Chain A
Amino acid sequence: MDTQDNKQLAGAKIDVINQYTGEKWYYSDIVKEHFFKPRNILLDAPVDGEYDATGMVGSPACGDMMNMWIKVDRDTGRIKDLKWKTFGCGSAIAATSMYSVMLTENNGLTVDEALKIKPQHIMVRLGGLPNRKIHCSVLADKAFQKTANDYYRNTGQNEKIVVEGARVIDDRLNITDKDIEEAVLEGAQTLEEVQKKLKVGVGLSEEAITDIEQLIRFYAEKYYG
C-alpha cells in the first residue's frame, strides 16, 4: 500500500522524463499555469505605429526564437503594454508569460526599471525551473533588451542603448557591429540599405562609413558566400 502511494505521488510530480538522459523534470504549478495559459500573447499582427518598439532574438543554445512588442506611456515612461510571441519550449513560454506580467503589473515598470529584471527574478516568481531549462528564460530578457534598444533609438535616447559583446561603430547613435550583422541577415546588401534599416547615415564620418562597408562585405561573405 505504502509503495503504491509513493509511486502515485512520484508519478504525479514528474512532468517530463528526458528521452535521452532519463532525467526527470518537475514543473511547478505556476509554470504549468503560465505554460497552458500564457499571458500577453500578441494575437493580431500589429499595424504600423501601434507599438512603440519591437525586438526579435534567437537563442544560440537551443534555436528558440522570440519576438516582443511594447507600448510606453510618454508621460510616465512606464510600460503600458507588452506583447510577445515565441517559437520555444514549455519553459520559454512559461518564463516569458511571467516576465510579461512582471513588467506590466501595478501600472507597469519604466523601461529602465524593467531592464533590471533578470532571469533569476523570473525564476523566483515561477517557483523554479528544472536546471537544464533555466537558459530558456534568458530569452525573455534578451528580447526585452533588444526591444528597449529599439525604443531608445526611436526616442533619441541613443546613449542608453546596450548591446552586449558588440563593438560600437558609431558612438553618437550607438550603432554596433551586431546591428550591421543583423541588417545583412535581414537582406541588406549595400551601405544605403543598411543605413535605411538602421536609420543612420546623416553626419556619419568617412571612417565609420568605411568600417560599415567592410562589415557588410564580411557578413555577406559569411552568410551568403
Chain B
Amino acid sequence: MDHAAATPLDSRVFSAMTPYLTAEFGNAGSLYREGRRTKDAVDTARTTIADILGAHADEIIFTSGGTEGDTMALAGVARAYADKGRHIISTTIEHHAVLHTLDALKKEGFEITLVPVGQDGIVDPKEIERALRADTILVSVMYANNEIGTIQPIAEIGKIVRKYRATKTDLSSGPFFHTDACQAAGYLDLNVIKLNTDMLVLNGSKIYGPKGSGVLYLRRGTRMRPIIFGGAQEGKRRAGTENVAGIVGLATALQIANDEREKESARLEDLRHYFISRLTREIHRTVLNGDPTRRLPNNINVSILDIEGEATLLYLDAHGIACSTGSACTSESLDPSHVILALGRPYEYAHASIRFTIGRSTTRDEIDKVMEVLPEVVKTLRRISPITVSEDATGMSHPEAFAGEGLRVKATSKNYK
C-alpha cells in the first residue's frame, strides 16, 4: 500500500514499449527509415500527451522524470528571467525536488518566500497573492501533496498569478506559474488551460508507467535556459537522445490513466473513506493528517500518536504490509517530515505518521487485512512508549529530555504558567 512511492508497470504500457526496447532501436534523430519510425513514435506520444493537457505539441518537453522536470522548470525559468527579478514564491510542503532546487537558486542570489499552509495542509491563495512583488518571476505550488495528498487550489492561484502579471508594464517579466502534478496525475484534471499554469510536471512512475520518464509542459512564450547541454533535441531545451520506449510508455500510461480517471477515482475515494473511518474509529488517538476530503482519492496519512513510524512500518512489513512513514528514522537526513511539521504539528506527530497510498490493485479485503493486524501492532508499541502526546499538540511533549542538546524549538510545558 505504497502506490505513491511507485506503481507497477501496466501490462498494456509494457506491450506498447516492447518494440522500442527490441526491434525499433533507431535513433529518433537519424534521417533513415529506422530513425524516422522512432521519431514518429515520439511525435505521436507528444501529441497524445499534449491533447490530454490541452496543450500544443511543441509545449511538451520529455524529461527523465519528476525531479528533472521540476529542476528544469524552476532553475531554467528563474535563470532566464533573472534580469527581470529575483523573487520566487513557493510553499512549505513542496517535494524536495522543488525545495532543494530553490535552495540551490538561493545560493545563486534568488530570494525565496515559502508560504505556509493551514492545519488542513492547503495553501490559502490569498497568502500567495500577498507574497507577490514587482520582482517576483516565479510561483511554484504543487497540485497535490505527495505525503498527505492534499489538493491545492491551483486554478485559483494560477488566476491570481496571471492577473498580477497583467498589471505589469513589462508583460514578459513574469511571474510565471509552475505546478508539480506528479501525484495528481491519474486522479485530477490536468488541463493546463483550466489550471492557468505556465509549467506543469508529470512523471511515468506514479501512473503505472515506466520509471525514468517524465514531461515538462512549458507554455509558449515562457523562456527557459536549458540545464542539460548537448544536441538539439526537444526544441533545443533538453539535450540527449530520446528515451523512446520511456516516452511511448509514458504517453500510453497517461492515456490509460486519463481514460480510467473518473471511475478509478470514485472507487478509490470509497475505499479511502472506508479505511480512514476504520482507522480513526478502531485505533483511538489516531489523527488524520491533511484535509479529510480535499485530498487525493488514494492517500491515507495518519499519525498514530505515541508510537514511532519506522517501528510500526517494520511490524507491518513482517505481516506483508507495505506503507511509508514521515518518521525521521527512515529519512535521508534524519529529519522528520517537513510536511507534517508544516501543518503546525510537533515533531512527535511527524515521527508517528504513517502513509498508506492505495491503487488499482487495492481491494477492500486488503484494507480489512491491515485493520486485522494494525490495532495489535499499535497496542504492542504503545506499551513500549514512554510518551502520551496530546491530540491537539502544537509543541513537544517532553522537551526536558533534550536538555543540553541545543534544542531549537519553543517549549510548551504543561506546567509552565
Contacts and interface: CB of A to CB of B under 8 A. Distances in A.
Please say whether chains A and B are actual partners in one complex: yes
A167 B5 CA distance: 47
Contact of B386 (A15, A35, A86, A177): A86
Interface residues of B, number: 47
B384 A38 contact: yes
A90 B413 contact: no
B417 A189 contact: yes
Given A16-B317, A63-B347, A93 B311 contact: yes
Contacts of B384: 38, 41, 85-86, 93
Given A185-B411, A189-B417, A224-B411, A66 B399 contact: no
A71 interface: no
Contacts of A165: 404
Nearest to A186: B400
A178 interface: yes
The size bracket of the interface on A is 35 or more
B342 to A, nearest CB: 16
A4 B114 CA distance: 49
A189 B385 contact: no
Contact of B314 (A85, A90, A136, A186): A90
A173 interface: no
Nearest to B414: A187
B332 A56 contact: no
Contact of A189 (B314, B406, B410, B416): B416
A61 B348 CA distance: 14
A179 B413 CA distance: 16
B404 A187 contact: no
A34 to B, nearest CB: 12
A63 B351 contact: yes
Interface in B303-338: 306-311, 313-315, 317-318, 324-325, 327-332, 334, 336
Interface string A151-190: 0000000000001011000000000011101110111110
A21 B417 contact: no
A91 B325 CA distance: 16
Contacts of B404: 163, 165-166, 177-178, 181-182
A219 B407 CA distance: 11
B406 A60 contact: yes
A88 B314 contact: no
A48 B334 CA distance: 36
A182 B403 contact: yes
- Among A64, A90, A177, find the residue whose CB has the most chain B CB atoms closer than 10 A: A90
Contacts of B263: none
Contact of A223 (B324, B329, B399, B405): B399
Interface string B379-410: 00001111100000000001111111111001
A102 interface: no
A67 interface: yes
B22 interface: no
Contacts of B313: 16
A89 B413 contact: no
A20 B377 CA distance: 24
Contacts of B311: 35, 88-90, 93
Contacts of A182: 400, 403-404
B361 interface: no
Given A41-B383, A87-B348, A90-B314, A65 B398 contact: yes
Contacts of A9: none
Contacts of B318: 36
B167 interface: no
A172 to B, nearest CB: 21
Given A38-B384, A187-B416, A56 B398 contact: yes
A185 B328 CA distance: 23
Nearest to A181: B403
B415 interface: yes
Contacts of B317: 15-16
Contacts of A189: 416-417
B223 to A, nearest CB: 33
Contacts of A92: 308
A60 B409 CA distance: 11
Contact of A87 (B330, B387, B413): B387
A16 B314 CA distance: 8
A18 to B, nearest CB: 6
A122 B56 CA distance: 62
B251 to A, nearest CB: 27
In the A-B complex, the 3 residue pairs with the closest CB atoms: A187-B415, A182-B403, A58-B401
Given A38-B384, A89-B310, A187-B413, 19 more contacts: A16-B317, A18-B332, A35-B311, A36-B318, A58-B405, A60-B405, A63-B328, A64-B308, A66-B401, A67-B386, A85-B385, A86-B308, A88-B329, A90-B311, A92-B308, A93-B384, A132-B334, A183-B400, A185-B411
7 contacts: A16-B330, A41-B383, A63-B347, A177-B404, A182-B404, A186-B400, A187-B416
